[in-house]
Amino acid sequence: MFTRSSKWNVKSVILVALIGIIMGVIYTYGFNWAYNIIKMALVPTGFAPVTDTVFSGLWLMAAPLAMYFVPTIGSGTIGEVLASIVEMAIGGQWGAITVISGLIQGATNEIGFFPKTARYQNFSWKSVMIGAFFAGLGIFIPSYILYGWGKFNMTVQIVMFITNMISALVFDGVLVKLIANLFDRTLKPHLA
């Protein structure tokens, strides 16, 4: 029977590492590929930068998945950092900045759960959505500064912010919570 463990042990470390590796591969060979095609197609419209924010929530999913399977402080940050290291190592297009982004995204995702371990264990809609909201800010603000999004006209900036937050809430929040609920129903996990 599958169990969730709030203690760091060999099983927990392996599970978080597997989540990081799998998500890093998915980020690189799944999301990045689709992102590049859609962004290229939108260049003539002037809204190509919006692709960055529409996809942003997809790159946040490793953290809450790690927190679901290993419900303890730091698991989300470690899971997201490992995913970013894998993404960078196998040819992710953003290079070493990916690891810094992974650290920020993982840590901001944990805001919905921190500091109470019961929040990690319960993995409630509220905690997941708060984490997704802050992770959305954690991906938007550094990207805004790093990539100079302030140079775009105000309409594009507003659309980018709105789509970023919707993406974070939908993918990092709702989709991950639905995946967790599916695991709850099919595997009947309990906290060990």
Higher pLDDT, 189 or 52: 52
- Going from N- to C-terminal start, the domains of the chain cover 3-112+120-186
For 70-79, what is each residue's pLDDT tens digit?
999 999 999 9
Q: What does the pLDDT average to over 46-60? A: 90
The pLDDT of residue 1 is above 50: no
Task: Quote the mean pLDDT of the chain.
Answer: 92
Beta partners for residue 3, in sequence order: 190
CA-to-CA separations, 169 to 12, 128, 136, in angstroms, rounded: 26, 9, 8
| Residue 117 and residue 97 in contact, taking contact as beta carbons nearer than 8 Å | no
What residues contact residue 22 under an 8 Å CB cut-off, 6+ apart?
A: none
pTM of the model: 0.91
Using omega within 30 degrees of 0 as the cis cutoff, is the peptide bond preceding 64 cis?
A: no
Res 98: pLDDT: 94
Phi-psi label, residue 148: left if phi above 0, alpha if psi -120 to 50, beta otherwise: left
